[in-house]
Amino acid sequence: MPTVTLIVLAALVVFSPSIAAAQCRGYSGPGGACYSGPGGGLSSGPGGGLYAGPGGGMYSGPGGGIYTGPPGGEGAYKGPWSPCITGVKGPEWRRENCPK
């Protein structure tokens, strides 16, 4: 797992000048890829695409965006832009299916 994290971080450092100059493509509203607010792809706060803690896009553990574990079921991807972040499936679904 640490190797994957290092590779991703190295890629971000190498490509960050290009990324910074590039136009973001995607939804810019709450929970979207181009949203810098809570839960958005450009957010470094909890649940955001740039967040390295549990549930964040840069987290390599269960529920994280760079988790390489089993698809579906326990520990499945529930990272950024999922219903766990956007809340589109409602609070009951989130309680039953998203990381705490």
Residue 71 lies in a domain: yes
Residue 97 lies in a domain: yes
Residue 41 lies in a domain: yes
Average pLDDT over residues 95-99: 75
Residue 75 lies in a domain: yes
Nearest of 68, 33, 60, 62 to residue 48 by alpha carbon: 33
Q: Measured on CA atoms in the order 13, 20, 27, 40, is the torsion positive or negative?
A: positive
Average pLDDT over residues 14-38: 74
Residue 22 lies in a domain: no
Count: domains in the chain: 1
Quote the CA–CA distance of 37 and 10 in Å, as a whole number.
25
Q: Domain of residue 87: give its range.
A: 1-14+28-100
Instruction: Inform me whether the pLDDT recorded for 89 exceeds 80.
Output: no
What pLDDT is stored for residue 57 in this prediction?
85
Residue 44 lies in a domain: yes
Q: What is the pTM of this model?
A: 0.48
Residue 21 lies in a domain: no
More confident residue, 44 or 71: 44
- Contact (Cβ atoms closer than 8 angstroms) between residue 100 and residue 85: no
